[in-house]
Amino acid sequence: MAKNYGYVMPYIGIVNNLIPSMLHLRFNKEDWQWQEAFTKSEDSLAPWEKHVYRRLKSFFDPSIQYFSFQTSGSTGKAKNISIQRAQILASAQASLTFFKLTPGQRVLLCLSTEHIGGCMLLYRAILGQLEVFVTEPSRSVYCETAVDFTSLVPLQFHALRKNNPEQFNQLGTILLGGSPIDQDTESFIQSLNNKVYQSFGMTETVSHIALRKVGSESAYTCLPNVFVAKGDQDRLL
């Protein structure tokens, strides 16, 4: 499996010139003023907020070129791996391009930034200068303000369908990843007004590398500048 990271180089300069005060993040209805937050102690933060804080702080530190994540264990025993900053920027920009997300659009972050899915949504928002609504990671997803984009795992999606289906009207485009979806879920998605994309990828590939629009596509489309090939026993390279 090959990725071309060369095209992301212009964006490295953009990110290095961003300052935290340019970000608009809302935590449970409260605006976080990041130009002040970076000088504060973590003691006042909830555990899940600390993960967001640390991810942001490391992203804005140009001396940090590698970011640590734990794999899910889907390809073997779970382990810690390091991902290069250039790889993260390339993946984030590819997703922004695929979904046509533009500065000022709103995204909901309801996944833990401990893991690659939530962390990459945060980093896409930084690179794309998006407005981020951050909620505590939970099986129950709720957002008072309509957003243009969010990422969910199937557990959250099924809980919304069962307990609060009207929330789908608030969520815009949905990226659904983490595990396969069954035919019943696929049929339900076709009844929604949302565009729902199923992802293909893992921590080792810096989140998704290919996407399928549920309900209208049977095959996955690779992200821009992502290339795959088949090796022995039809395994992806």
Cβ atoms of residues 69 and 81 within 8 Å: yes
Picking from 67, 69, 86, the residue whose alpha carbon sits closest to that of residue 78 is: 69
Contact 203, 70 (CB under 8 A): yes
CA gap 221, 98 in Å, rounded: 10
- Give dist(CA 168, CA 179) in Å, integer: 20
Percent of the chain with pLDDT over 90: 51
Whole-model pTM: value is: 0.84
Q: Domains in the chain and their CATH numbers?
A: 2-234 (3.40.50.12780)
Residue 7 has pLDDT above 90, yes or no: no
Average pLDDT over residues 94-119: 94
Residue given tokens 């998605």 in the structure block: 189
Least confident of 82-86, 108-112, 117-121, 229-233: 229-233
DSSP E strands in the chain: the ranges are: 2-3, 24-27, 30-32, 66-70, 80-84, 106-109, 131-134, 149-152, 173-176, 196-202, 207-213, 221-222, 226-227
Averaged pLDDT for residues 109-131: 91
Chain-centroid distance, C-alpha 228 = 21
| Mean model confidence pLDDT for the chain | 83
Q: What is the pLDDT of residues 168-202, one digit of tens each?
A: 999 999 999 988 889 999 999 999 999 999 999 99
CA distances from 35 to 19, 124, 160, 186 (A): 8, 20, 35, 43
Q: How confident is the model at residue 90 (pLDDT cuts 50, 70, 90)?
A: very high
